[in-house]
Amino acid sequence: MSFDLVLRGGTVATAAEVFAADIGITDGRIAALAERIAPGAGAREMDVTGRLILPGGIDAHVHIDQAQSPGAAAAGAAMADGFRTGTTSAAFGGTTTTISFAVQHRGTSLRDAVADYHRRAEGNAVVDYAFHLTVTDPTQAVLGQELPALIAAGCRSLKVYMTYEAMRLGDREILEVMAVARAHRAVVLVHAENHEVLTWLAERLEARGETRPVHHARSRPLFVEREATHRALTLSEAAGAPPTVIVHVSGAEPIEEIRRARARGLTVVAETCPQYLFLSEGDLDLPDMEGAKAMCSPPPRDAASQAACWRGLEDGTFDLFNSDHAPYRMDGEGKLRAGPNPPFRRVANGIPGLATRLPLLFSEGVVTGRIPLTRFVALTATNNARLYGLAPRKGTVAVGADADLAVWDPERRVTVTNALLHHAVDYTPYEGMRITGWPETVLSRGEVVVADGVLHARPGRGRFLEQTLSSAYAEAGRWI
């Protein structure tokens, strides 16, 4: 047998096991996984002795080239990353699939929004991508025609917001979207924060002149998230229990709500993000506008919340570890669009994280012994693939799967600097962190896209991925 490429001498990790194997790749797919592939069997050979071969990461929570909705508090702030730099940054961090949001603006059609995001990605994406549908205006046309057609066309995950003035849905609207998801077997993602409470708190802080970045965190305490998580899961229960993802969970109280809902029999998927492990409210409490670099929603919290998120990763409460990459520069185009010293409500929310997601969790989770390598793979790739209908093609190392692989040097010591990340954002909140382990070569469909710090891929080679039926529907019981 002959292959286009053979990776020789590596240690393969999947969500289930870790084993030594050579990998034969043909036509972009894994054609053989064997203890030993005969010398000379590959048109090209790569010696990966001493390296881990991981499925390329799937980042299922990224905002790329997303316009602020008209009327948003941070209107006009532009995302720095389009699909070209966004997916390039993904590849440099070992991620080979992104799922970003196709966002409807109120008063416009969701179908047109999706067509627009397809145009933004085509010709630019370096790795493969899918879209979640963000529903902000669930009209009868959207609920009755557009959503069913878009779900059938491979966008099988719908996002709803409970806050942000320009995007949020009321409970009744969320019920309607969830019912469509249930009927057409789509997954629902919820941004869960209580809008009335956080707005009331923000106004009171503002009235006292407390408008710095740290006051953003103080306007959104954990109970804001706890209440909305409980409400989102109650709405899911009422709507026939479509599989429901609570995204960016930041601490113990919403985790408790998720456990309670699972005990009632709901299919609840829980996601956390690097910022809830590695940042805290103190990072928002810095001189000048430095704190804006760590401003996201929900905000980073305290040591107890970080510990709760780590425990949730360790004990299996969390299924997904995604970045919530939301790339705003620290300049007049991005975070400081409203002026050099804007009140926190005028600062765009979000931090970059596509390239740092895997290396941070590998170093502080796997190298430290907190989580096994198999769980790292599940959290960063396999579970996203299964939940969002990209398996078995994506998210694992197996014969027949796409050869999307991160060749990982588990011992490389790296000091995180913004230049390593290849996004278009002018900072990283993790600047200066010393970590262990780094993806040295990254393959997408058998093609080397990144090697030793150099991009080899042509923008536009990335392809749109149609999601198939979620494992959460295809398999009985708890989906994982």
Residues making contact with ligand DUC (CB under 6 A): 63, 191, 296-297, 324, 326, 349-350
Please choose, from the candidates 236, 258, 237, the residue with its C-alpha nearest in 3D space to the C-alpha of residue 247: 258
CA angle centred on 93, ends 379 and 408, rounded to 5°? 80
Instruction: Give me the 138-177 binding string for Zn ion, x by CB under 5 A, dash otherwise.
Output: ----------------------------------------
Question: Least CB distance from residue 326 to ligand DUC, whole Å?
Answer: 3
Cα distance between residue 6 and residue 33, in whole Å: 10
To which residue do tokens 């508090």 refer?
Answer: 73
> E-strand spans in 17-171?
18-26, 29-34, 42-47, 52-55, 57-62, 95-103, 128-134, 157-161
Q: Which is nearer to ligand DUC, 351 or 443 (CB)?
A: 351
Cα distance between residue 445 and residue 28, in whole Å: 4
Out of ligand DUC, Zn ion, none, what residue 296 binds, judged by CB under 5 to 8 A for its kind, is ligand DUC
Q: Which is nearer to ligand DUC, 26 or 322 (CB)?
A: 322
Out of ligand DUC, Zn ion, none, what residue 349 binds, judged by CB under 5 to 8 A for its kind, is ligand DUC
132 part of the interface to Zn ion, by CB under 5 A: no
Please choose, from the candidates 363, 382, 374, 375, the residue with its C-alpha nearest in 3D space to the C-alpha of residue 278: 363
- In the region spanning residues 172 to 211, those forming contacts with Zn ion, defined by CB under 5 A, are 191
Question: Least CB distance from residue 173 to ligand DUC, whole Å?
Answer: 18
CA angle centred on 275, ends 454 and 369, rounded to 5°? 80
For residue 220, give the DSSP letter: S
- DSSP of 314-381: HTT---EE---B----SSTTTTTTT-SS--GGGSPP-B--TTTHHHHHIIIIIITTSS-HHHHHIIII
Q: Which is nearer to Zn ion, 60 or 407 (CB)?
A: 60
SS3 for 181-219, per residue?
Answer: HHHHCCEEEEECCCHHHHHHHHHHHHHCCCCCHHHHHHC
Q: Which is nearer to ligand DUC, 111 or 335 (CB)?
A: 335
Q: Which is nearer to ligand DUC, 69 or 297 (CB)?
A: 297
Out of ligand DUC, Zn ion, none, what residue 301 binds, judged by CB under 5 to 8 A for its kind, is none
Question: Least CB distance from residue 324 to Zn ion, whole Å?
Answer: 4
Question: Least CB distance from residue 451 to ligand DUC, whole Å?
Answer: 31
Question: Least CB distance from residue 101 to ligand DUC, whole Å?
Answer: 9
Calculate the CA 253 to chain-centre distance.
22
Question: Least CB distance from residue 296 to ligand DUC, whole Å?
Answer: 3
Cα distance between residue 256 and residue 253, in whole Å: 5
Q: Residue of minimal CB distance from Zn ion?
A: 191
To which residue do tokens 């970080």 refer?
Answer: 306
- In the region spanning residues 7 to 66, those forming contacts with Zn ion, defined by CB under 5 A, are none
Question: Least CB distance from residue 246 to Zn ion, whole Å?
Answer: 10
Question: Least CB distance from residue 92 to ligand DUC, whole Å?
Answer: 21
Q: Which one of residues 324, 364, 404, 447 is an interface residue with Zn ion (CB under 5 A)? A: 324
Q: Which is nearer to Zn ion, 324 or 364 (CB)?
A: 324
Binding site for Zn ion (CB under 5 A): 191, 324
